[in-house]
Structures are given as C-alpha cells and as structure tokens.
Amino acid sequence: MLLKDKVAIITGGAKGIGRGMALKFAEEGCTVAIADIAIKEAEEAVDEIKKKGGNGIAIKCDVTSGQQVGDAVDKVVKKYGKIDILVNNAGAIAAHVPIEDLTEESWDKVLALNLKSDFLFCKYVVPHMKKKKYGKIINLSSIGAVQPPAHEIHYNTAKAGVIGFTTDLANALAPLNINVNCILPGPIRTSFYDHNIGSMTEEDKDKFFTRLGKKVPMQRVGTPEDMAGAALFLASELSAYITGQALYVAGGLPLLPPAPPPSSLAK
C-alpha cells in the first residue's frame, strides 16, 4: 500500500474529484479526513470508505473561514496525532459574466473559495508538518489558469493564483522535506458542470460530455479516477524528489486536439 499509516485531509472531498481521491487514498491504507460544507455527502463518502475496510472522518467546514479551518485541523490532529497529506481540492465555478457586469461580491466569493481556502489550510497544517519534517501538499488549480476555455475571469484568476501560491510555498518548505505541488485538471465528468447542465437528462449529459471530449487531444473527458491516480502519485513516496510542479491531468491539453482525417472533411 502506497499510503499505509498516513493521515490526509482532503477538502471538498464529499463528491466529484475530491471523493475519488478520498476513496483511492483509503484503498492505499490512508486515514482520510474529509473537510466539506456538504456534511451529509461527506459522511456518505466516509461510510463508503469504512465499508471497504478503510478509516476516515467527515468534518463540516466552511473552507473560507479561518476559525472553522483551524478547528478542523485541530480535530484531525487530536484524533490521529498528525497530518501527513493535505489536498486542497475545494472549489467551484461561477456563472459566466463579462467583467463589466461582475460584482465585487462575486469576485471575492470565488477567490475565497478557490484560493484563500488553500492559504487557510496550509496556514494551519504546515506547522504540524514542520514538526515532523515531512508532508505532502497538493493544490488543485485548473487548465483554465493557463488556457481559459471561457471568460470566467474570477475563477481563472484564482486558479492561476494557486500555481503561484504552490511555487512559493514549495520553495519555502523544500528544506523541510515537505513537497508542495499542484494539479491542473482538464474537463472532468463531475457535478462541477451542473451550473449549466444540471437540468439535462442523463442522455443529454452524455452527449454534452462526448462533445466536450472532442476538444481534448485524447478525445474524452476525464474521470475522478484519473485525477485520483495523479494525486496518489504526488501523495506517495513515488514523488519524493518532486516539488513546486504543476501537473496537467487534462488528456493532453493545452495541446490542440488532432485534426480530423481528410475523408471526414468531405462529409
């Protein structure tokens, strides 16, 4: 097992990418604390982990609140004695709004959820890692940070900030044997897209993701399992000599998808 006897906090681990990571980490022997505002779904994820023989805990937490983040970290340390791995996965997109119509409130909310939350968890977790001189921190950025697929300037700005945050923190913590990396997901089939397809039938959702996949060099959208595999690599000792990196898990993006064969052009 790659994460035997390790303890991890995964923010936003109640569903989607975070849940996929939580399940994968638990399969590899890790005790997983899921910190999420959606406590019902977080508890369901932990129940699934325990049914498969793993161990974990669900903690209700507003990841943009310093008080709640500090309390969540204290709870994990008191229960398990340490934190080996931190995955800053919590985040969400907002409606597409031209910059002239974007409110200051919406800007602040999106930046807080997608960037400030990373700062808060690192602020409270890093001191525990420093004591042990060991730690793995994985921050979730987005392909939108480097190749925006749409004009979502608050979200894309926040995710670009995650890359800078990762680089700075990795440099500061490298002498202490604490690895800090970030992942840039491409399109992944999760409820992340529900803001514009949530009312569709399952058949129409399938068609949406098939069309979306055609924009990817590998000709498909990703899955939570794809993301979990990358996160497992960065959380394990397989990546012991890797820090400060931005790993694209995006089916080949930002490469351009392959051109259609000449025969199809005539159709």
- Mean of the pLDDT values across residues 50-54? 97
Given a cut of 80, whether residue 267 has pLDDT beyond it is no
Residue 59 parent element (H or E): strand 55-60
| pLDDT grade for 121, boundaries at 50, 70 and 90 | very high
Catalytic residue among 80, 124, 155, 193: 155
Eight-state DSSP code of residue 115? I
Q: Which of 12-21, 44-53, 129-138, 184-193 has the lowest mean pLDDT?
A: 184-193
- Does residue 134 carry a catalytic annotation? no
Return the axis-axis angle of helices 16-27 and 39-51, rounded to nearest 10°.
30
Residue 263 predicted with pLDDT over 70: no
- Kindly report the number of other CB atoms within 10 A of residue 205's CB atom: 16
Please report the pLDDT score of residue 59 as a whole number.
Answer: 98
Strand 178-185 relative to strand 246-249, pairing: parallel
pLDDT at residue 68 is higher than 60: yes
Residue 196 banded pLDDT, cuts 50, 70, 90: low
Distance of CA 122 to the CA centre of its chain: 14
At residue 204, the pLDDT reads 85
Counting residues of the chain whose pLDDT is more than 90, the rounded percentage is 83
Closest C-alpha to 61, from 50, 53, 70, 48: 70
Q: Which of 138, 11, 106, 132 is nearest to 68 (CA)?
A: 11
**What value does the mean pLDDT take over residues 228-254?**
97
**pTM score:** 0.93
Q: In the chain, which residues fall in CATH 3.40.50.720?
A: 7-188+223-250
Max CA pair span of the chain: 66
CATH class of the 7-188+223-250 domain in this structure: alpha beta
Q: How far apart are CA 56 and CA 51, in angstroms?
A: 11
pLDDT (average), residues 258-263: 72
